[in-house]
């Protein structure tokens, strides 16, 4: 930018809107806008606002229909400024948008330029990549969330490699978990729950709603109920982060009556409310009463998987040199997981979720003065908390490293990631350095006396002791089945590592293959070609900024985030 043009604009701005005037004005929007994402050199307007607590990425080719009035007025004003300067320069603009839509510009600072002679060409390539991602979304046009139900963003991350994504899809979200919980009284969803936009995996909120809705609720009532969920989610997008506990009613708990009264205010009839209440109560009561039967059935199913994983683990896949045996192990593991691993794991996860709902409602309704849903700082036990205790035991000489590795050597920091080394591949000192902490005291959920009055008030046809036993068992069983599931998954990744070693393909490169590729027995040359194509596509998609939740295609161009502490400091 020519210095005299910049200085002239700055002088005019400071004279027209001095600091004392800014403090007196009431703004609909106020903050700082960068005319380019300079960190990644991407064609987004980057707006920090709300006192620096929020940041919004607005694609430079965004359609005006997807912007609110304040942001639209801001973008129009910024584009007018950009006509006065060299388009290859990036600007930082302090602004305020008044309640009447008037845009005030307080200051303009030149940012370090992108420094590329091929900037226009790079931007065109990026916009083409983004257009492909939009087409991926328009294939289903559902509301999508990166956290709905299984917490996909936490399990495989927001930018997983093709192998991570395809394993997660094949082992859990491709209809398997819906078929598993259907016998508990839920609707069967015939389509895959997960969809990929660019590299980022999302779960369909629409299909999650259906899969966690009692099957005995009639179609018309389901439509009204899901419309209600959608309206809640649109008014508060943060609800998507823990959808089964904060948004959906998938079981009966001690807050259900209050939620039914809310539905009544919204126009649900007495018959519809009774229909919903009865269906939720039936699922909950049957889950509690039949827990022992399900535990027995699930133990028998998971036993098939345990038998297979023990046999394959004894063969040590990381040292196996027979490639056909490795391929056979992968096929056996995947089929057994889908038939005998995921179904019991999904059911026990659902029971643990019901138990959590019940305990959280105890707190919410004031039956106990506990901040934690399981009556214990730190909550129900997890593999990570158990590990902390065992690592401490090894450090104190109370457990041998060999025994620890026998129990937990298959685990990885990132369970679906082939690039993440299993514990048995690490030095034990490295595990100690991760700082996993043991439980401060044994897991102690609420006792039966806590449930007495709550069960009576809710009219649940079960005893407080039955409910207490259910709450005690559910998270522990879920942990057991998660352990067996993760063991099978880790062995599968070990097989992939060895297949790559035998073929002369690096572990890093193997992550660009998908499970379907590895089941088709391609030649090395074929794998290398697939890897090259997938790597290029992966890195192109990695440049996209994608939202946590998508309601419509415009959300791919207009992305709002809560700022982290690190980004606020920057």
pLDDT tens readout for residues 296-313: 999 999 999 999 999 999
Q: Helix %, strand %, coil % for the chain, to 5? A: 60, 10, 30
Maximum average pLDDT range among 146-150, 160-164, 170-174, 467-471: 160-164
Q: How far apart are CA 87 and CA 9, in angstroms?
A: 16
pLDDT score for 569 = 40
219 plus 311 within the same structural domain? no
> Binning pLDDT at 50, 70 and 90, where does residue 445 land?
low
pLDDT greater than 90 at residue 389: no
- If asked whether residues 207 and 266 sit together in one domain, one would say yes
In a shared domain, residues 156 and 295? no
Q: Picking from 244-258, 403-417, 474-488, which range would have the lowest pLDDT averaged per residue? A: 403-417
Q: Looking at residues 35-48, what average pLDDT do you find?
A: 91
pLDDT at 27 over 60: yes
Q: Answer yes or no: is 533 within a domain.
A: no
In a domain, residue 324? The reply is: yes
Residue 256 pLDDT > 80: yes
C-alpha span between 513 and 54 (Å, rounded):
36
- Among 221, 252, 284, the domain boundary falls at 284
Q: Are 313 and 426 part of one and the same domain?
A: yes
Residues 31 and 97 in one domain: yes
Asked whether residue 14 falls in the same domain as residue 65, the answer is yes
Domain count, the chain: 3
Task: Enumerate the β-bridge partners of residue 59.
Answer: 44
In the structure, what pLDDT confidence band is assigned to residue 23 with cuts at 50, 70 and 90? low
Contact 361, 254 (CB under 8 A): yes
Supply φ then ψ for residue 39, to 5 degrees. -65, -45
> What are the start-end ranges of the H helices in 337-463?
342-364, 383-395, 401-408, 428-433, 448-458
Same domain, 497 and 366: yes
Q: Which residues of 371-394 are buried (b: 16+ CB within 10 A; e: fewer)?
A: eebbbbeebbbebebbbbebbeeb
At how many degrees (to 10) do helices 270-289 and 256-265 cross? 160
Domain boundary among 227, 251, 284: 284
Residues 155 and 240 grouped into a single domain: yes
* Sign of the dihedral through C-alpha 461, 466, 471, 474: negative
pLDDT of residue 184: 97
Cα–Cα distance between 145 and 243 in angstroms, integer? 9
Distances in Å between the Cα of 238 and the Cα atoms of 208, 261, 268, 549, 561 are 16, 23, 25, 9, 11
Please indicate, yes or no, if residue 543 is contained in any of the structural domains. no
Rounded average pLDDT over 85-93: 80
- pLDDT at position 269 is 96
Average pLDDT over residues 442-455: 80
- Is residue 296 assigned to a domain? yes
Based on the fold, state whether residues 308 and 360 are members of the same structural domain: yes
Region 522-540 average pLDDT: 94
Lowest mean pLDDT among 88-92, 445-449, 485-489, 525-529: 445-449
- Residue 128 counted as domain residue: no
Residue numbers of the domain that contains 372: 289-519
pTM: 0.88
188-204 pLDDT, tens per residue? 999 999 999 999 999 99
Is residue 536, in this structure, part of any structural domain at all?
Answer: no
Q: Final residue of a domain: which of 232, 257, 284?
A: 284
CA distance 55 to 33: 9
pLDDT average, residue stretch 31-58: 92
How far apart (Å, rounded) are the C-alpha atoms in residues 316 and 64? 58
pLDDT of residue 4: 60
Residue 158 lies in a domain: yes
Q: Which residues pair with 412 in a beta bridge?
A: 422
> What DSSP string runs through 191-242?
S-SEEEETTEEEEEHHHHHHHTSBTTS-HHHHHHHHHHHHHHHHH-GGGGGG
Residue 456 domain-assigned (yes or no): yes
> Do 425 and 444 sit in the same domain of this protein?
yes
Q: Is the domain of 465 the same as that of 401?
A: yes
310-369 pLDDT, tens per residue? 999 999 999 999 999 999 999 999 999 999 999 999 999 999 999 989 988 988 898 887
User: Same domain for 380 and 508?
Assistant: yes
DSSP state for residue 140 in the 8-state scheme: T
């Amino acid at each position: 930018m020519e210095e005299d043009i910049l200085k002239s604009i700055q002088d005019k701005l400071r004279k027209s809107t001095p600091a004392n005037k800014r403090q007196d004005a009431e703004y609909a929007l106020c903050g700082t806008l960068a005319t380019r994402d300079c960190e990644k050199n991407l064609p987004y307007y980057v707006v920090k606002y709300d006192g620096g607590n929020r940041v919004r990425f607005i694609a430079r080719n965004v359609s005006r229909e997807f912007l609110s009035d304040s942001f639209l007025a801001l973008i129009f004003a910024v584009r007018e400024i950009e006509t006065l300067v060299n388009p290859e320069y990036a600007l930082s603009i302090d602004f305020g948008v008044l309640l009447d839509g008037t845009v005030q510009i307080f200051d303009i600072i030149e940012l370090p330029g992108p420094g590329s002679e091929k900037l226009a060409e790079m931007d065109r390539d990026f916009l083409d990549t983004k257009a492909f991602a939009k087409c991926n979304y328009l294939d289903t046009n559902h509301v999508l969330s990166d956290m709905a139900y299984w917490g996909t963003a936490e399990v495989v991350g927001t930018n997983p490699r093709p192998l991570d994504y395809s394993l997660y899809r094949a082992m859990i979200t491709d209809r398997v978990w819906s078929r598993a919980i259907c016998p508990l009284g839920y609707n069967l969803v015939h389509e895959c729950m997960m969809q990929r936009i660019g590299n980022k995996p999302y779960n369909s909120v629409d299909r999650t709603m259906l899969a966690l809705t009692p099957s005995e609720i009639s179609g018309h009532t389901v439509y009204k109920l899901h419309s209600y969920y959608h309206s809640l989610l649109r008014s508060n997008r943060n609800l998507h982060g823990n959808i089964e506990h904060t948004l959906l009613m998938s079981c009966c708990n001690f807050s259900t009556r209050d939620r039914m009264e809310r539905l009544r205010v919204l126009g649900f009839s007495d018959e519809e409310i009774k229909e919903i209440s009865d269906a939720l109560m039936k699922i909950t009561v049957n889950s509690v009463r039949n827990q022992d039967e399900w535990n027995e059935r699930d133990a028998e199913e998971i036993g098939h998987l345990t038998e297979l994983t023990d046999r394959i683990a004894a063969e040590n896949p990381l040292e196996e040199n027979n490639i056909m045996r490795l391929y056979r192990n992968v096929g056996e593991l995947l089929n057994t997981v889908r038939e005998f691993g995921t179904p019991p794991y999904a059911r026990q996860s659902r029971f643990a979720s019901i138990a959590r709902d019940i305990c959280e409602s105890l707190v919410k309704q004031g039956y106990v003065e506990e901040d934690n849903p399981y009556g214990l700082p730190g909550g129900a036990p997890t593999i990570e908390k158990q590990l902390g205790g065992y690592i401490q035991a090894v450090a104190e000489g109370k457990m041998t490293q060999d025994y620890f590795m026998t129990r937990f050597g298959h685990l990885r920091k990132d369970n679906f990631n082939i690039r993440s080394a299993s514990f048995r591949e690490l030095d034990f000192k490295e595990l100690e350095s991760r700082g996993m902490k043991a439980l401060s005291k044994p897991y102690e959920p609420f006792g039966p006396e806590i449930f007495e009055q709550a069960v009576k008030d809710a009219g649940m046809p079960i005893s407080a002791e039955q409910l207490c036993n259910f709450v005690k068992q559910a998270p522990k069983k879920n942990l057991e089945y998660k352990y067996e599931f993760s063991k099978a998954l880790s062995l599968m990744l070990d097989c992939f590592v060895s297949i790559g070693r035998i073929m002369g393909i690096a572990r890093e490169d193997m992550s660009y293959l998908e499970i379907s590729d590895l089941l088709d027995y391609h030649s090395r040359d074929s794998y290398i070609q697939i890897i090259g194509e997938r790597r290029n596509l992966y890195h192109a998609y990695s440049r996209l900024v994608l939202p946590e939740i998508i309601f419509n295609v415009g959300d791919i161009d207009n992305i709002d985030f809560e700022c982290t502490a690190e980004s606020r400091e920057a």
